Structure 1
Amino acid sequence: MDPGPAWLGPKASEDEVPVTRRFGGGLALRAVVPNAITAAALCSGLTGIRFAIVGDWKMALFAILLAGLLDGIDGRIARLLKAQSRFGAELDSLADSLSFGMAPALVLFLWSLQGLPRLGWFAALAFAICTALRLARFNARIDVEEQPHKMAGFLTGVPAPVGAGLAFLPMYLWIATENEVFRTPWAVAIWTAVIAFLLISNIATLSWKSLRPRSSWRLAMVGFGGLLFAALLTDPWWTLVVICVGYLLFMPLGIARYARVRRQRDGRTEPGETPHVQADA
């Protein structure tokens, strides 16, 4: 069934509401800018494979992480320029599948998983396929209004760029410590499979819109953001380890907060429990 003249822009995150426009007629010139950024993210992710082939693991990681950064700004620039388009949305999903699915899978295989020629390859395939399935699920639901997680300001499962970053945790530790134990094929295969599962899981995870710090914390968070950026410049690998561990530790918080939202929606808010203000989704 033809969905009609709905034009959706490149997404910066999966908790956004698609912006619809009632006119079409081609790709506007201003739409070139966000789509060019998306194409740059795609090229950056695939270039990570090239660095992995020659054994330059640090540059391989940097290229894919840069792709994640570019993926986070293309949608925001599209909205700023009012340049959302169906073309941009499709290009964004394709770029995500290649940059955060196929590229990390091949990098991990070349780095460690090829030590298990069969099982290692299946672990890499599982990660790439789960990334594609996650993106396909998002695209299939993009016009569905009834999405409990999204309506409450949460995500379903781990986002593709975050999943790629988490999958590289053994590599961060290996580079930071120079300890070959983190390159053990069995351990890397199990870890890759766990992250692949989180990508397609139905677990409620926190999004930027679900994080609403109190006013008294905002200046502290600005300072923390500056320190985090400085840490990435001075000691990037240990900083990335801390970010990954912090994200994993916050996952139970997301599950608990969403459970509280569900109780409130069902009219079963516990006495004395602070009402949860839903984020715009």
Structure 2
Amino acid sequence: MTGQNVVNVSADASTYVFDNDGDHSGDQHRHLARLLDPLTFGRLESAGVGPGWNCLEVGAGGGSVALWLAERVAPHGHVLATDIKPGLIPSREGLTVVRHDIVADPLPEGAFDLIHARLVLSHLPRRDRVLRRLCAALRPGGLLQLDEIDITRWAEPSVPDGHEVYGAYVRAMARVLGTAGSDPTWGARVAGEMARAGLVDVDPVRWTEVWRPGSAGLDLMISNSRHLQDRLVEAGMTPDRLREVREVMSAPGFSAPSFDIHSVLARRAFGG
């Protein structure tokens, strides 16, 4: 079928804090794509994703990875993109979009050559169960790639101006995520969890960079300060402090290390 095929499977509520219906959702996904697509695409390309593959993109968000995969597996492959709220995912040949709750809704077993999820499982309190379900949905020899973050070593800015307010913002963001059941440190444990789930050939990569004004990372942080303003105020910030931290992140000369980004590839054993 040509174009986007949207299928209703579930509309269960989610505790995910970055609602795809929010006023700043489009900006958030654009900045995430700028920040993470180069790493994600490079890893998928190194895995050999190519024509004819059957792929599942979980929590597809703005759809940049799903579109890349659909182009990569064309003309005979197929991509199934799922999300609780899939309205931001664009259309194209070879891509089916499903409204789907990865925690509760069924997946076909042994069906996919590749499953990819980015910044999804860390937001799910039952992520261990979801990981096992994803493993079961792989065909023998199929690949799972999980891209997640770890804020454990998320350092303060490298310049004194804005040190205090930026640090307060980072800590408030961590509290917002934790209150919603997310674990923004889970990236460091992804490789071990995948191995414990029975996957083999586990291949982790950790990536960091320095963010400066106009970078995808700081643009994402500025967008998040608006997207989550009410939650951030509940977590101890004030509207004035949020305006201040936006000014700090936009000021010439400001720089701050990124959080750690972990990209882990692993394979379902042929006998598994």
TM-score for the superposition, normalised by structure 2: 0.26
Rg bigger for which structure? Answer: 1
Higher normalized strand content (fraction of residues): 2
